[in-house]
Amino acid sequence: MQKCRTVEDGVAAVLKVYEQTPGCTWAYRRAGEGDLTDVLTLDGKDYPLFWWRFDTQTSMLHEMAPSREPCSMKLNRSCGKGEGLARLTYREFDIAQWVLRSALQSVMCFENGEARNILGTMENGCVAVFELAAALCDGTEEQGRHTFWGKNGMGSDRVVSQKVPSQATYLFTDDKTQAETYNDVFRCMYGLEKPDVVRACAIAEALMGRVDPAEWLRADAQLRRCLAAVERSAQSGEKEAV
């Protein structure tokens, strides 16, 4: 079996499975300085890549939420220092709005160096809590938990009492104390770890026309307004409308 080594390899593997050929030119660029997310370029036009919406667990939460009639959601996340709080906030805001099917109406933010706590109220009355930190060594797998509670159930991407994300494979050997881990997801993209699998899925879905990247552009504009409200709140010490 040929191993995938890059996101582009993953995209090609998916397209091969579905026997699809992209109808446009495309390029992928990982988020860099000043970017709020990765960038997908289609026929020369840049789109923000909402790759997290293709995370297997996050998309499960999105699917199951309506039947549970959500009341609130907690988004606890720690990422690498290089990722930064702005990028993390942008992503977590989108996850909250996507899962709860409602836009943020107001935000209250307390910030301290690498950490930021935000209480958001949604237009549909739900409350979203964001506990965000960019304090991990770059390259460390992101930590945290997304959980929502509803009148008719709940959903979480961590099993009860679990502290860190579980991996698909743990290898213990007699020459070191820590396990070597692998988090393979789809057979057709064998060789890629989950963060790259998710990105490849997002791009492939866009190339196959199964998602409309224009929606990501619209969401991007609204998310930037949310981030601006967060900045205002952190400065003013007051709740700010989005």
| Among 35, 46, 83, 111, interactor with another protein by CB under 8 A | 111
At its nearest, how many Å lie between another protein and the CB of residue 185?
A: 24
CA distance 131 to 77: 6
Using CB under 8 A as the binding rule, whether residue 76 contacts another protein is answered as: yes
Name residues contacting another protein, limited to 78-107 (CB under 8 A): 78
Q: Are 207 and 26 in contact (CB under 8 A)?
A: yes
CA distance 87 to 242: 18
Name residues contacting another protein, limited to 56-75 (CB under 8 A): 71-72, 74
| Among 9, 83, 114, 141, interactor with another protein by CB under 8 A | 114
Q: Please, which residue, 153 or 209, has the CB nearer to another protein?
A: 153
Using CB under 8 A as the binding rule, whether residue 211 contacts another protein is answered as: no
Q: Please, which residue, 39 or 154, has the CB nearer to another protein?
A: 154
Q: Please, which residue, 42 or 136, has the CB nearer to another protein?
A: 136
CA distance 127 to 150: 11
**Dihedral sign, Cα of residue 85, residue 70, residue 233, residue 117:** negative
| Among 135, 188, 208, 211, interactor with another protein by CB under 8 A | 135
Q: Please, which residue, 71 or 211, has the CB nearer to another protein?
A: 71
Per-position x/- string for 1-40, each x denoting binding to another protein as judged by CB under 8 A, each - no binding? ----------------------------------------
Q: For the chain, what is the radius of gyration of the CA atoms?
A: 19
Residue located via tokens 């805001």: 93
Using CB under 8 A as the binding rule, whether residue 119 contacts another protein is answered as: yes
Using CB under 8 A as the binding rule, whether residue 183 contacts another protein is answered as: no
CA distance 28 to 41: 6
Residue located via tokens 């307390």: 110
CA distance 91 to 77: 10
Q: Half-sphere exposure (CA, 13 Å, Cβ side) for 111? A: 20
CA distance 52 to 199: 8
CA distance 5 to 116: 34
**Residues in contact with another protein by the rule CB under 8 A:** 71-72, 74, 76, 78, 108, 110-119, 121, 125-127, 129, 131, 133, 135-137, 143, 149-151, 154, 160-161, 163-164, 237-239
